[in-house]
């Protein structure tokens, strides 16, 4: 307690004594202003702050993990493009991400290919994409002691998936299972667990017979937790599709898009950029456009026909 606070406390002693002794002549020295309890005040708009662009990333990981991986990219962009700042916005679920993406809340976004093609109808355009398309494939993980050897071994068992709209980690593996003899929506118990890591952990813990994901989350998590790699392995993997897209809302100026593109597509050219890419399990970003994702549209058409119907928004 500071001396001033102590004095203020003591100052009230005579007042209390007056109350106790019933002395009516004591002056009330406290003012109304002093008695008013502080409350924060608010204004409708930001004050003199530079424009911050929101870069929404689809739930590749849980929000903290995703922030850890992608926030360096936002910082890097702010440093490279004077007068701007970027912030990463995660989403706790694909549904939440979809809702925000389709509401146009993000200035820039990194949706998966399925969401990329859907975003085109919601005011976004493709200006780039993640490289390493060969990694954009689904993998089906099982415990080494699970006894799962062939696709039919999964029949009647639960399989964990991140989310219904996860392209590489859900739709592509479901399509693969369908093509390899399983009636996905009937032969197995499809269990959507919300995130890549959760899907992996469910299989590791034995809650599900297999866990479905895609290579980057598996690589990162298995490096962090070697016991996963020791006890699990990817028993199947799907064919690749174009990797996650980079979309920008249509009202963002082409000049800024050009600047962002220039920075992002040249990340692999310096160490700081390489470090950012490394944490993403990626070698580069590359330029792309709406047509780049036509194969994805084709896949979605076929998936919708053969596995389960999708709401056609592309």
Q: Which residues bind other proteins (CB under 8 A)?
A: 1, 5-6, 8-10, 12-13, 16-17, 19-21, 35, 37-47, 49, 52, 54, 62-64, 66-68, 71, 87-92, 96, 100, 105
Q: Which is nearer to other proteins, 18 or 120 (CB)?
A: 18
How big is the CA angle at 250 (ends 84 and 85), to the nearest 5 degrees? 10
Shortest distance in whole angstroms from residue 163 CB to other proteins? 14
Residues in the chain: 314
Burial 277-297 (b: 16+ CB within 10 A, else e): beebbbebbbebebebbeebb
Q: Which is nearer to other proteins, 14 or 206 (CB)?
A: 14
Minimum gap (Å) between residue 39 Cβ and other proteins: 7
Short-list 216, 217, 205, 211, CA closest to 234: 211
Closest contact distance (angstroms) between CB of 130 and other proteins is 20
Contacts of 166 (CB under 8 A, 6+ apart): 94, 112, 114, 196
Distance CA 178, CA 175 (A): 5
69 vs 182, beta carbon nearer other proteins = 69
Shortest spacing between CB 188 and other proteins, in angstroms: 30
Q: How far is the CB of 44 from other proteins (least distance, A)?
A: 6
Tell me which residue of 235, 54, 237 sits closest to 139, measured CA to CA. 237
Looking at the DSSP assignment, which residues form a beta bridge with residue 124? 249
69 or 288, CB closer to other proteins? 69
DSSP structure class, residue 120: G
Q: Which is nearer to other proteins, 12 or 262 (CB)?
A: 12
CA dihedral for 98, 168, 261, 267, sign (positive or negative): positive
| Nearest Cα to Cα of residue 159 among 173, 179, 149, 147 | 173
Q: Considering the complex, what minimum distance in angstroms separates the CB of residue 263 from other proteins? A: 19
Around 81, how many Cα atoms within 13 Å sit in the side-chain half-sphere?
23
Nearer to other proteins, 95 or 158 (CB): 95
Helix (H) or strand (E) holding 65: helix 63-80
CB of 16 to other proteins, least distance (A): 4
Cβ-based nearer residue to other proteins, 34 or 227 = 34
CB of 26 to other proteins, least distance (A): 13
> Residue 149 CB, nearest distance to other proteins (Å)?
38
**Choice between 67 and 233, CB closer to other proteins:** 67
- Residues 6+ away with beta carbon under 8 Å from 300: 114, 117, 171, 310, 314
CB-wise, 105 or 229, nearer to other proteins?
Answer: 105
Residue from 295, 248, 58, 91 nearest 165 by CA: 58
């Amino acid at each position: 307690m500071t001396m001033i606070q102590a004095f203020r406390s003591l100052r009230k002693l005579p007042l209390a004594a007056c109350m106790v002794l019933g002395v009516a002549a004591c002056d009330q020295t406290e003012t109304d202003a002093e008695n008013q309890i502080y409350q924060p005040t608010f204004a409708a708009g930001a004050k003199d702050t530079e424009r911050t662009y929101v870069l929404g990333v689809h739930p590749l990981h849980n929000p903290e993990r995703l922030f850890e991986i992608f926030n360096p990219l936002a910082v890097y962009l702010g440093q490279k493009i004077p007068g701007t700042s970027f912030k990463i916005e995660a989403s706790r679920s694909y549904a939440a991400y979809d809702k925000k993406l389709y509401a146009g809340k993000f200035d820039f976004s990194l949706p998966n290919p399925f969401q990329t093609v859907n975003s085109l109808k919601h005011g976004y355009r493709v200006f780039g994409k993640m490289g390493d398309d060969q990694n954009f494939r689904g993998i089906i993980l099982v415990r080494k002691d699970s006894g799962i050897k062939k696709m039919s071994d999964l029949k009647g068992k639960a399989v964990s998936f991140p989310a219904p709209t996860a392209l590489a980690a859900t739709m592509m593996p479901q399509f693969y299972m369908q093509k390899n003899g399983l009636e996905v929506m009937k032969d197995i118990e499809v269990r959507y667990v919300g995130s890549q890591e959760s899907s992996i952990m469910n299989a590791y813990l034995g809650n599900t017979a297999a866990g479905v994901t895609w290579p980057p989350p598996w690589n990162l998590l298995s490096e962090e937790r070697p016991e996963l790699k020791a006890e699990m392995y990817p028993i199947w993997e799907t064919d690749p599709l174009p990797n996650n897209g980079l979309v920008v809302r249509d009202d963002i100026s082409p000049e800024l898009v050009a600047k962002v593109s220039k920075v992002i597509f040249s990340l692999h050219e310096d160490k700081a950029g390489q470090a950012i890419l490394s944490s993403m399990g990626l070698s580069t970003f590359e330029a792309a456009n709406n047509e780049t994702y036509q194969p994805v549209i084709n896949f979605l058409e076929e998936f919708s026909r053969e596995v389960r119907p999708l709401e056609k928004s592309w």
